[in-house]
Structure formats: structure tokens, C-alpha cells
Chain A
Amino acid sequence: MLVVEDSDAIRTAFTILLEESGYTVAAAPNGNDAVRLAGERSPDLVLLDLGLPDISGLDVARRIKGDPATRGIPVVALTGRDDDADRDALLSAGCSAFWLKPVDTQALIRSLPGYIAGAAQP
């Protein structure tokens, strides 16, 4: 599982949440690290915050989905309410879903196996 989030506090919170739910977690504080780690670690899923300091979350999604090596990794975007305009772009970039922050963590954890299984199908 790869967590991409620039806020230290939120990144750590998601790392704890996912580890305690039984996942192995890698975390990236910015977009470039995210793209690199997606290639190196081949995570089962990328949890992607949109407001990143270097490249936008949308670009991260496009790069992951544009590279044949990482194309199959499901990407779930975490959005704020201001990001309305980006949602269609996120879906057409190949994101599995977007969740409004702050997410209902229980509901998110319940949904993760579905996203992972969904991406495994052609």
C-alpha cells in the first residue's frame, strides 16, 4: 500500500490506520517520490492526496497510469471539496475512486479489498 500525502500528521495517521488493518505501507510526502515508489515497490494500491507540493495529484495519477509497469495499480484519490473540477479528470486518468476528506476511515478500509480486486480484473 502506498500512501501519498504531504501533511506529516495525516500521512502518519494513514500509515497507522493501514498497518493496523494488516497492510504493509510505504509513504511518500510528494509527487515525485510517489511515482518513484510506485515503480519500485509495486504496491497493491495507491492512496493519493491531491494537494502535493511538487507535482499535482492528478499528474501523479496520470504518470502511474501512463507507465505500463505501474498501470495496473489501482489509485484512490483523496480530495477536498474545492477539487470538484478535477474529479472527472481523475476518473478519466484511471483513478478507481475519490473520497472526500476527512474520510470515514472504517468505510475506506472496508472498500480497499474491492478496489484491489477490481483492478486485478481486465
Chain B
Amino acid sequence: MTDLRLTIHGGHEVEARLREVLAREGFRIVEPPRPEAGGGAALVVEPHGHLPREYARRLEELERTILELRNLDVAKSQFLTNVSHELRTPLTAIVTYGEILRDGMLGEITPRQREAIESMIGSCRQLLSMIEEILTYARTNAQAISIQPSDFTVDEVVRIVHDMNASLIERKSLHFDLEMSPDLPTAHADRDKVAHVLGNLIGNAIDFTPDGGRVHVDAHRSPADPRWIEIVVEDTGIGIDPVHHELIFQEFAQVDASRARIHHGTGLGLAIARQFVRLHGGRIWVESELGGGSRFLFTIPSVEASANAESAAA
């Protein structure tokens, strides 16, 4: 430790101010044994040790950085929300006009024109869902998201998701069926998030299944714990090679370039789905072989599981 000798020329105010600054900076003031000749007060100061002083400085720096980051994060979220709104408005107009043209409201169209318009609408809808995904992902990361559980039946959520995709299912002539186990308990989970997960899985199933294929949704008690609900979304699509089963749940993963070329996707959908399922303490996984269709499974708590958890916590 090195002493720092200071001779102060000035009044008490200067000395008081200096004492304050030195104390804040982590110096200890050692009063001199006797006043130095030549006028003015003298102080001998020494650091408390390098560590506390350095520590205080770093702490201050960190606090400043955290504050800046927080502001940036809020600004980023706000920016994304605004941009997303600005992007969606013209796309909504394009989709709506496309459907007006497709349905022959402004004059008859030929089958080839119809095909071209269908493709235009489809592309716009893909673009919209990608914007939604990026936005959801940005939000999920920007804020600590929490789940707001309520009681609902799996059946009603599947039907809502089905209705949202009804036109697409019809256009691809897919067979969609829902099988609910008769002893299925009421779900106790965040309804919007479960709907989001189901929307993603059913959307993928529709995308990756060729025309005339089958999409099957099945809900039953989880074999691992009957107080949990296991939901299965199964398709007769192109399937996924087992080596990719973990990869597809990672952010920005597209299994291969050809799959990405044929089918849309930000590569965020399943990462978000996994995040939402994990927030409930559940699990999401896939069973599939290349060329053999895919089975996506996930678990959510039922009212029985939550009642148990609450009584266990009490």
C-alpha cells in the first residue's frame, strides 16, 4: 500500500470536499501527526487496499451498463413491435386483395390465374407467420415470461387451432382427426401458450404432409404420470431423420437446406414451442423416421397435477 500525501491550499470547504471524495473512492484518511509547515491543512491518505476501490469503480460501471442495457432492451422490443405492425398491415392488404381476386369477385379467372393467386396468398401468409415467430421469439427473450394457468379442455384449443387452418387443410385435402381419451382430465395450463404450441405443431404437420395425407391429434393421460396430459400431433409427411431429433428444437435450426427451401420457416417455431412447454414443467419430443411421418409429443399439467403441486407446496 502506498501513502498519498496531499497538501491542501484552501479553506475548510475544500478539505471537506476532498475528504468526501477520498472516502468515496475508498481511501482511508490518516491524520498527520502534526501540521506541515507552510500553511494549509495536510492529509495523508492511503487506499483501503486496491480491491475495494477497484470494486466500487467496477460496481458503478456495471450498474451503468445494466441500466443502458435495460433501456436498449425496452427500445428493441418496442422497435420490433412497431416494425412488425408496419410489416403486417400491407401484407394483410395483399392477402385480402388476393382472396378477393381468387374468389372471382372482380371477374372470372382461369384455373392458372387462380393457381398463381393461391401461391401469392400462401407466400404472404408464410411471411406473416415468420414475422409473428420472430416477434414472439424476441419477446420471449426480452422479458421474463410467465405462464398464466387456467382450466380448459384440450379439445376446445385443438378445435380453435384446426379452424384457423381449416382452409389450408381443405385445400390440401388432408384428413384431420382428433381423438380424445374418455378419461382425459381438464388441463391446468396457460391456454394461449398451449394454443401456440399446438398451432406450431399442427402447422408443421400440414406443411410437411403431401396432399391427401393425414394429420392426427390425440390427447390422453401421460403414461409417465397420469396426472399429466400427453398431446400427440402425428402426420404422414416426409418424416425426420433421428439424428436431427434434438437439432430441430434448437433456435434457427433447419434440418437441411432442401427442407428449408421447400417449406417455410424461421427455424424458431419449435424452439419457442419447447420454451413454452418447459415453462409448464413439461416435455416436448419427436418420434420419427425419414419417410415415415412424424409424431410430436408434449406434456402439460392437468388440474389433478396442479392440485397435487399446491397441496405439496402447502
Contacts and interface: CB of A to CB of B under 8 A. Distances in A.
A9 B90 contact: yes
Contact of B106 (A20, A102, A104, A106): A20
Given A20-B100, A80-B88, A13 B164 contact: no
28 contacts: A7-B89, A7-B92, A7-B93, A9-B90, A10-B89, A13-B97, A16-B105, A16-B106, A17-B96, A17-B105, A20-B100, A20-B105, A20-B106, A80-B85, A82-B81, A82-B135, A100-B164, A101-B92, A102-B91, A102-B96, A102-B124, A102-B125, A104-B99, A105-B96, A105-B99, A105-B103, A106-B167, A107-B166
Nearest to A78: B92
B97 A104 contact: no
A115 interface: no
Contacts of A84: 192
B132 interface: yes
Nearest to B99: A105
Tell me which of A17, A103, A104 has the highest count of chain B C-beta atoms within 10 A of its own C-beta. Answer: A104
B189 interface: no
Interface residues of B, number: 26
Nearest to A101: B92
A51 interface: yes
A62 B95 CA distance: 29
Interface string A1-24: 000000101100110110011000
Interface of A: 7, 9-10, 13-14, 16-17, 20-21, 51, 80-82, 84, 100-107
A7 B92 CA distance: 10
A103 B92 CA distance: 8
Contacts of A10: 89, 92-93, 96
Contacts of B279: none
Contacts of A9: 89-90, 93, 97
B23 interface: no
Given A17-B100, A82-B81, A102 B92 contact: yes
Main secondary structure of the interface of A (DSSP, over half): helix
Contacts of B124: 102
Tell me which of A101, A102, A106 has the highest count of chain B C-beta atoms within 10 A of its own C-beta. Answer: A102
B237 to A, nearest CB: 23
B166 A104 contact: yes
Nearest to B132: A81
Interface string B93-121: 10111011001011000000000000000
B87 to A, nearest CB: 11
B238 interface: no
B128 interface: yes
A14 B96 contact: yes
B90 A106 contact: no
A13 B93 contact: yes
Given A7-B92, A105-B96, 16 more contacts: A13-B97, A16-B100, A17-B96, A17-B105, A80-B88, A82-B81, A84-B192, A101-B88, A102-B91, A102-B96, A102-B124, A102-B125, A104-B167, A105-B99, A105-B103, A106-B167
